[in-house]
A and B are shown apart, each in its own frame.
Chain A
């Protein structure tokens, strides 16, 4: 019967290695999910000058709104730290929303081909940001569950797989994906 022992030990090792690899893979996915959010945020910064440029010609009397957007963008780019960043992003979303509200009053601008294209890109980017956050949170949930549930929790403790934080929005209005509807 003694011969069964090494087999059990080998199987056990394989099993632990499997669990360990699963955890590593999930943790990598969390990192990747976080990076994806940044990619989309960056995309939004890149699109804003385009938007401002398109709208400038039509919105001669609404200079303030446009300046606010530009300012908010700069703040968001310069922000450091999670909390600062979140605040700056919130502010940027707000200024964008008020800009789009103003655009409603300018039918020419609203109907212009360039504006429609920029708007579509921006709406899509807003969606991508919230979908990236959603994906990040889904991934973190899967990872955290794995670190908590037996038997992978044992492996997680052994190799200190720490729990990840969810991406949360403080502003209740922000919870609703920023809806910019032009239809």
Chain B
């Protein structure tokens, strides 16, 4: 279990580094395209874009997501058992009590958001409360609290921003090549031809590649949260059977969409499981997650 956790952390940091290098490379190429020697300016340009979008979602992201999911905040008296289950876990993890939100939807699912443990929120659907036993609920909450403790929310935000910036910068580059011919680069030398070609190819595959990496990170972090959740409860079976119940449920979570699907404990977009093994899924296949939990 401990091995899984440390290995996982390494893997996801590696992915972040790769994505960052990618962004820097792209920025450099753009700069060079604008004019010889402007490569470093391009890097700065790419990083500034990343920084601006970063700050916006760092301070405003959580509230936006909760509002988008129509989550309502509740107090302890509204559901003492749920609060007890979460309080128990905060004691086990040694983190502050997060804010608790309920989504009025009968499809069972849950997610966590917030930039750090002090500003964390857990959102749980009505369906999840109704359909799971106490132990299963605790397993799910442990998974979500692990996302908080591992700073996954911040982490996926960061990766999301990087990917978003890559998409933006590539787009910028492609457009400036198409529209800018003979514009800024008057009398450009012939030797930069290959550079433009490399840049163009890169700009086209970069967003795709970055997206794939982002999803790979997302899948890694799901495994990690499963493992560290089990480390909190010392009862992996609770989460395993909860995952089976959630994925086996026929109801559709109406408030989930493409923008928030990656946040939930089980991907709420239903045809998801069919292509779960593909490179473009946000979560690992349920069978694999359950198998790993039961092997602990």
Contacts and interface: CB of A to CB of B under 8 A. Distances in A.
Contacts of B85: 124
Interface residues of B, number: 15
A121 B92 contact: no
A85 interface: no
B81 interface: yes
B80 interface: yes
Contact of B87 (A29, A33, A128): A128
A152 interface: no
A120 interface: yes
Contacts of A132: 91-92
A101 interface: no
A131 B142 CA distance: 12
A6 B94 CA distance: 41
Nearest to B92: A131
Contacts, number: 37
Interface string B78-119: 001100110111011110000000000000000000000000
A87 interface: no
Interface string A140-180: 00000000000000000000000000000000000000000
Interface string B175-212: 00000000000000000000000000000000000000
**Interface centre among A123, A132, A134, A183, by most B CB within 10 Å?**
A134
A9 to B, nearest CB: 33
B80 A121 contact: yes
B80 A120 contact: yes
B234 interface: yes
B133 interface: yes
B94 A134 contact: no
Contacts of B94: 29, 33, 135, 139
B81 A120 contact: yes
Contacts of A40: 91
Contacts of B232: 131
B86 to A, nearest CB: 10
A128 B81 contact: no
A127 interface: yes
A117 interface: yes
Contact of B89 (A117, A131, A183): A131
Nearest to B138: A127
A128 B91 contact: yes
Given A124-B87, A134-B234, A183-B133, A117 B92 contact: no
A135 B84 contact: no
Nearest to B133: A183
A183 B84 CA distance: 17
A68 interface: no
A182 to B, nearest CB: 10
Contacts of B92: 131-132, 134-135
Interface in B221-237: 232, 234
Given A134-B234, A183-B133, A117 B91 contact: no
A128 B94 CA distance: 12
A54 interface: no
A36 interface: yes
A117 B80 contact: yes
| Nearest 5 CB-CB pairings of A with B | A124-B84, A131-B92, A127-B88, A131-B91, A132-B91
Interface of B: 80-81, 84-85, 87-89, 91-94, 133-134, 232, 234
